Amino acid sequence: MREIIFDTETTGLDPKSGDRMVEIGCIEMVNRVLTGRTFHAYFNPERSMPSAAEAVHGLSDAFLANKPLFAGRAGELLEFLEDSPLVAHNAGFDFGFLNRELELCGLGEVSRERMVDTVAIARVRHPGAKLSLDALCTRYGIDRSHRTKHGALLDAELLAQVYVELLGGRQIGLELAAESQESVTVVARSVSKDRQFRPPRPHAASEAELAAHAELIETINSPLWSG
């Protein structure tokens, strides 16, 4: 199964208010194994970089000034993505920016049916725990010492390792892999909201059962509990 693990860096939090994508990093994984194929690009956002955003990823106006516009590499990106499932941490955020950029250059959006959100998976696996990428790397013993700032390709590489662990690790048998992937995808896409639950079965003994039990007790000679 081919999947793309990806991450984005942006000028802010809301693409609808004018924030833009400035970096995307994508990693190809087949059957949970990295193939070595990647797509990575920086983009000129055609607007200034807020200082708060620059503090997160370190991408300045000067650095991005000579980078291509998103439209210049959109075709190459879509060719790399193909029709594979797209895995991201807090995936709604990254999908929002990706689809906004596609919209701005007159291209159709990527269907959210392809979205796999590792935050949703982690929330089920580790309820009540911290779910940031850093926290999950710590939980699974994944080295992130080289991560001084956010970077799309670096974060995608870390997320790929986290994703494998969230699905059960590489040791999981092939006979369980398909079942695990299917159940996790259902959780990540929130299909479980439509699940139908059966009413609980009664557990109290009936009057007839209590009477039968009493009759049985009467037939026992010198029971231990009577002494």
CA 102 to CA 226: how far, in whole Å?
Answer: 81
- What are the DSSP E strand ranges found in 73-174? 86-88, 115-117
CA 89 to CA 120: how far, in whole Å?
Answer: 9
Among the listed residues 22, 36, 161, the one whose alpha carbon sits nearest the alpha carbon of residue 94: 22
- Domain segments of the chain as ranges: 2-194
Q: Would you place residue 209 in the very low, low, confident or very high pLDDT band (cuts 50, 70, 90)?
A: confident
Q: Label residues 142-171 b or e (16+ Cβ within 10 Å = b).
A: bebeeeeebbbbbbbbbbbbbbbbbbbeee
Fold of domain 2-194: Nucleotidyltransferase; domain 5 (3.30.420)
Q: What is the mean pLDDT of the chain?
A: 86
What is the average per-residue pLDDT within 127-140? Answer: 96
CA 112 to CA 218: how far, in whole Å?
Answer: 67
Question: 39-97: per-residue pLDDT in tens?
Answer: 999 999 999 999 999 999 999 999 999 999 999 999 999 999 999 999 999 999 999 99
Q: Would you place residue 15 in the very low, low, confident or very high pLDDT band (cuts 50, 70, 90)?
A: very high
Residues designated catalytic: 150
Question: 157-184: per-residue pLDDT in tens?
Answer: 999 999 999 999 864 434 344 444 555 5
What is the average per-residue pLDDT within 123-150? Answer: 91
pTM of the predicted structure, to 2 decimals: 0.74
